[in-house]
Amino acid sequence: MSAPLENLASYSAFVYSLPERHFFVSGSSLVLVPVGATLAQLEGSIECQGGIYLEIWELIDFSAQRIRNYSYEVYRGEKICWYDSWPHPEIPALAPTFPHHRHIPPNLREHRVPAPGISFESPNLDVVLNDICRDWLEL
């Protein structure tokens, strides 16, 4: 089997099997569409138990086998967490996963923590969903 970021078919198989790998996922509106010869955009949301939603946007470059950009936002009514790659070299605590980090309560805008497992070189959705299960679900 191909690596997920190798081509559109492999990433489609990875994305559309997320509910099978994560028992707490109750629905998905994710759509992966080509936007060029080697680019695709993933957009939509994943519904989880406990009223939690994950809004997702990714731009994938299959020729480079990497994610060019992403946005992952977690909601329970209101936004409770988000992940981004905006560099903050002035915050030494984020160095272990630079530039990837997540914003968590309290004060979502300013409270940033490292985001282990998030990268441009491998799929991130399993990591984000595992974080949701660990941090936000009461199972």
39-72: pLDDT as tens digits: 999 999 999 999 999 999 999 999 999 999 999 9
| H/E stretch holding 20 | helix 18-21
Peptide bond into 99 cis (omega under 30): yes
Paired with 70 in beta bridges are: 58
How many Å apart are CA 137 and CA 99, to the nearest integer?
Answer: 27
**29, 117, 124 from 11: Cα distances, Å:** 16, 18, 12
Q: Does the pTM exceed 0.85?
A: yes
Instruction: Give the span between the Cα atoms of 80 and 48, in whole angstroms.
Output: 14
Domain range for 54 is 4-135
Residue 1 clears pLDDT 90, i.e. is over it: no
